[in-house]
Structure formats: structure tokens, C-alpha cells
């Protein structure tokens, strides 16, 4: 069994080797792509008794897949998170994060320059269907967030650097203010990638990437997106299931 901990020593080793357990893929140097949806159990009891946390036992592809698992393990390790979940798109990950943390009637603080479709989700579906209200701030100063906090604030949405115009927020300062108010901090870390910035270390609760951009070196294809964060959550966010800092 390969000693995976040796790969946690650097981002380079995580990206190239971490999570890839060759002995489970006939020692293939590149992990194969598993395209099956279902896995076989020898007995019905084996199915009912299997450990759902065991990354070497799989049941159904939507829930766990060995190839996707490698990506999730790498991203969680790069972000210093407790876990990660991969999605079919960045907006799937972002929507899951918002809908996991926020309750009907809740309040969100979001930076004005956040990715447009996320603002559309907040101003449209979240408001119309769940009564979630959003206050937008420029995000240059921590005080703006503090002033916008209400008793009902459940989530602060950051994007630093932000889409297109690359504005910055004080992740540590905003996270401290959020913690005092009992709100969670979500950040889109797409532009920096975890190679340059690890928001969980600065106090954020959930980190999201769209892998169609920087993490996969911008390409015309849409690639699985994910967000890593802390786990106690469970699919309650994780990538959507809960994820909190480890």
C-alpha cells in the first residue's frame, strides 16, 4: 500500500501523486477513468454492511467514483480542507453551497463583483422561492461587512480576486467578523487557485473553484468544479455535503 502521507509535503506532490493508489488500479501509472454507475456486492448483507466512508468500496457513481475521488482528495489537500466534492459545473457547486448553508428567510452578504450567475441565483431563485435577501458590498473594507451583518445573516460570499475586475477582500478580517456573528464564509478561489491562496487557513468555511478556469488552465471545455471545505457537513454542502474546515 503506497504511503500517501509522503505526498502531502508539497503542492506539487499533491497535484501529481496524492490520492492515486496505483495498487488499486493494477499499478497503472495513470489512474484509469471509471465510467461505471454501479458496483457489485457479493452478498446482500455485504451491501447493507459496507462502510460508506471507505474509499475502496463503491456502490453508485453519483455518490462516489474512484476517479472523481482522486480529484476531490487532491483539491481537499491543496486547500487544507477536511473534504471536497466535485460537481458537474462551478455553478452547481456554488448553488449547493448557498442552498446548504442558507435557510428560508435568511440573509446573505455578497461582494458586488461576484460572478454574475451567482448573483442571479441570489436575486432570483433564493429571493423568490426562499425569501433569502442579499446585501451587496464593495468588499474593500471589513467594516462594510460588519455594517451589513444582521441577526439573520447566514452566509458571506467572497470572491478574492473577484471576476474580471480582480478586487480583493480581507479574508481573515471578514472571517473573524462572520464567526462572531455566527455566519459562514464562502469564497470563490478560482482566480488564485490553492497554489497561491488557501482561504480555509484564513478562516473561511467553504472554498469553491470552477475547474473550467484556472485550476485546469483555462480551456474551452467545462470541467468538474468543486469546492473544498470542512466536513462535518455532509452533504450538506460539498463539495455539497457539509464541509467545514478540518
Q: N- to C-terminal Cα distance for the chain?
A: 25
Kindly identify the residues of this chain, within the stretch 155-174, that bind ligand PLP according to CB under 6 A: 163
Q: Which CB, 149 or 224, lies closer to ligand PLP?
A: 224
Q: Which CB, 163 or 167, lies closer to ligand PLP?
A: 163
Tell me how far, at minimum, the Cβ of 164 lies from ligand PLP, in Å: 8
Tell me how far, at minimum, the Cβ of 49 lies from ligand PLP, in Å: 37
- Own/partner long-range contacts of 190-195 (Cβ < 8 Å, ≥24 apart): 190/90, 190/159, 190/214, 190/215, 191/159, 191/161, 191/162, 191/163, 191/166, 192/160, 192/161, 194/11, 194/75, 194/78, 194/79, 194/80, 195/11, 195/78
Q: Which CB, 4 or 214, lies closer to ligand PLP?
A: 214
Task: Answer yes or no whether residue 228 interacts with ligand PLP by CB under 6 A.
Answer: no
Sign of the Cα pseudo-torsion (150, 166, 223, 68, in order): negative
| Residues 101-120, mask of contacts with ligand PLP (x by CB under 6 A) | --------------x-----
Using Cβ positions, the residue closest to ligand PLP within the complex turns out to be 90
CA-based nearest residue to 112, from 99, 100, 122, 102: 122
Tell me how far, at minimum, the Cβ of 91 lies from ligand PLP, in Å: 4
Which residues are at the interface with ligand PLP (CB under 6 A)?
89-91, 115, 163, 188, 190, 210, 212-213, 222, 225
Amino acid at each position: 500500500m503506497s504511503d500517501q502521507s509522503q505526498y502531502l509535503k508539497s503542492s506539487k506532490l499533491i497535484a501529481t501523486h496524492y490520492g492515486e493508489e496505483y495498487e488499486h488500479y493494477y499499478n497503472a501509472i495513470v489512474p484509469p477513468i471509471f465510467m461505471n454507475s454501479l458496483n457489485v456486492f457479493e452478498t446482500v448483507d455485504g451491501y447493507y454492511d459496507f462502510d460508506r466512508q471507505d474509499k475502496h468500496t463503491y456502490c453508485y457513481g453519483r455518490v462516489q467514483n474512484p476517479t472523481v475521488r482522486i480529484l476531490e482528495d487532491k483539491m481537499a489537500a491543496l486547500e487544507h480542507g477536511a473534504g471536497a466534492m466535485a460537481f458537474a459545473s462551478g455553478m452547481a457547486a456554488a448553488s449547493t453551497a448557498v442552498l446548504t448553508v442558507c435557510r428560508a428567510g435568511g440573509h446573505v452578504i455578497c461582494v458586488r463583483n461576484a460572478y454574475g450567475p451567482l448573483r442571479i441565483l441570489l436575486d432570483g431563485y433564493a429571493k423568490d422561492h426562499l425569501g433569502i435577501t442579499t446585501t451587496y458590498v464593495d468588499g474593500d473594507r471589513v467594516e462594510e461587512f460588519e455594517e451589513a451583518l444582521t441577526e439573520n445573516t447566514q452566509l458571506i460570499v467572497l470572491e478574492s480576486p473577484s471576476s474580471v475586475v480582480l478586487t480583493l477582500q480581507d479574508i481573515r478580517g471578514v472571517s473573524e467578523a462572520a464567526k462572531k456573528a455566527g455566519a459562514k464564509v464562502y469564497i470563490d478561489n478560482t482566480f488564485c487557485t490553492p497554489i497561491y491562496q488557501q482561504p480555509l487557513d484564513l478562516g473561511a468555511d467553504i472554498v469553491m473553484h470552477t475547474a473550467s478556469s484556472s485550476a485546469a488552465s483555462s480551456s474551452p471545455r467545462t470541467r468538474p468544479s468543486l469546492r473544498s471545505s470542512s466536513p462535518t457537513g455532509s452533504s450538506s454542502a460539498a463539495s455539497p455535503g457539509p464541509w467545514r474546515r478540518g
